[in-house]
């Protein structure tokens, strides 16, 4: 975690609406998260995506207390992202500011009744996909999130690309496909971001999803920083 180039992350987020942190997790850590999928004691709920029209595939939300590694990961990624989020909110002229420490932001969520943990593991197999969506779970939203690819493209699966769309006001939408290797994290906006245009700063609406898996199995770890109602 010490070697992350946060300035590059911020530049990429501002230029493209997403940033990749290469090799955030080791191959071994990835394997451990994949194996954790089969431990029901670690999770508070399981979602079969087709039942809700979310796509095909499934995911599970971790229960509190989070596994120590995940707790540390969430708390460590948050502070530099909170600085970016605060600059974005200032640019978008939104009054909300995010505290420097994740525990203080979580206290704000919990005080508002958003008490359920949102980090999740996702599992896809051949034919599965994740429809474009936004991970909003209540009034309190931290505007950036991370998804970490736990599987190795080409070796474990084909297809299954991470996709972002950016809807600009009164304009056509732009898509971004994010190539990831095992252990890479993609940082992206939960639902909006500021873009500087010729007539000043405007807000664009963002969605993310995963294209259809052509073969194999794909697992992801999702780190969302607000909690859910
Ligand atoms: O599987 C993926 O790459 C996307 C996961 C996702 O939607 C999330 O982490 O919020
Ligand atoms: Fe998501």
Distance in Å, CA 205 to ligand 2 centroid: 14
Mean pLDDT of 151-161: 98
Say if CB 19 and CB 90 are below 8 A apart.
Answer: no
Q: Is the ipTM of this complex over 0.85?
A: yes
Any idea where the domains of the chain sit in the sequence? Answer: 6-223
Average pLDDT taken over every residue of the chain? 97
pTM score, whole prediction: 0.97
**Quick one: which of 3, 229, 31 has its CA closest to 116?**
229
Q: How far apart are CA 88 and CA 129, in angstroms?
A: 30
Which residue pairs from 42-50 have beta carbons closer than 8 angstroms and sit at least 24 positions apart in sequence?
42/67, 43/121, 44/116, 44/117, 49/128, 49/130
Identify the pLDDT of residue 1. 73
Counting ligand 1 atoms within 8 A of each CB, the residue from 132, 191, 208 with the most, and so the one to mutate, is 208
Instruction: Give the residue-averaged pLDDT of 93-116.
Output: 98
Domain 6-223 falls under CATH 2.60.120.620: yes
58-28-6-80 Cα dihedral, nearest 10 degrees: 70
CA 198 / ligand 1 centre spacing (Å): 33
Give tens-digit pLDDT for 158-217: 999 999 999 988 889 999 999 999 999 999 999 999 999 888 999 999 999 999 999 999
> 47-97 pLDDT, tens per residue?
999 999 999 999 999 999 999 999 999 999 999 999 999 999 999 999 999
CA-222 nearest atom, ligand 1: 9
Query: Cα dihedral angle (34, 176, 55, 71), rounded to 10 degrees?
Result: 40
Provide the pLDDT for residue 197.
Answer: 86
> ∠ CA 142-135-120 to the nearest 5 degrees?
95
């Amino acid at each position: 975690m010490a070697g992350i180039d946060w300035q590059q992350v911020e530049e990429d987020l501002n230029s493209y609406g997403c940033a990749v942190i290469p090799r955030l997790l080791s191959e071994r850590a990835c394997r451990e998260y994949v194996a954790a999928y089969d431990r029901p004691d670690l999770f508070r709920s399981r979602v079969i995506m087709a039942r809700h029209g979310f796509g095909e595939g499934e995911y599970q939300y971790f229960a509190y207390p989070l596994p120590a590694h995940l707790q540390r990961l969430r708390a460590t990624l948050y502070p530099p992202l909170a600085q970016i989020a605060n600059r974005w909110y200032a640019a978008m002229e939104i009054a909300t500011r995010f505290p420097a420490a994740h525990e203080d932001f979580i206290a704000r969520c919990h005080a508002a009744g958003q008490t359920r943990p949102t980090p999740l593991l996702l599992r896809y197999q051949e034919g599965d996909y994740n429809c474009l969506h936004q991970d909003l779970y209540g009034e309190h939203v931290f505007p950036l999130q991370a998804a970490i690819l736990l599987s190795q493209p080409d070796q474990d699966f084909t297809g299954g690309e991470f996709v972002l769309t950016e809807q600009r006001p009164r304009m056509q939408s732009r898509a971004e496909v994010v190539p990831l290797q095992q252990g890479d994290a993609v940082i992206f906006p939960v639902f909006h971001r500021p873009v500087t245009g010729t007539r000043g700063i405007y807000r664009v609406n963002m969605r993310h999803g995963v294209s259809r898996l052509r073969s194999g199995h794909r697992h992801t770890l999702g780190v969302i920083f607000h909690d859910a109602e």
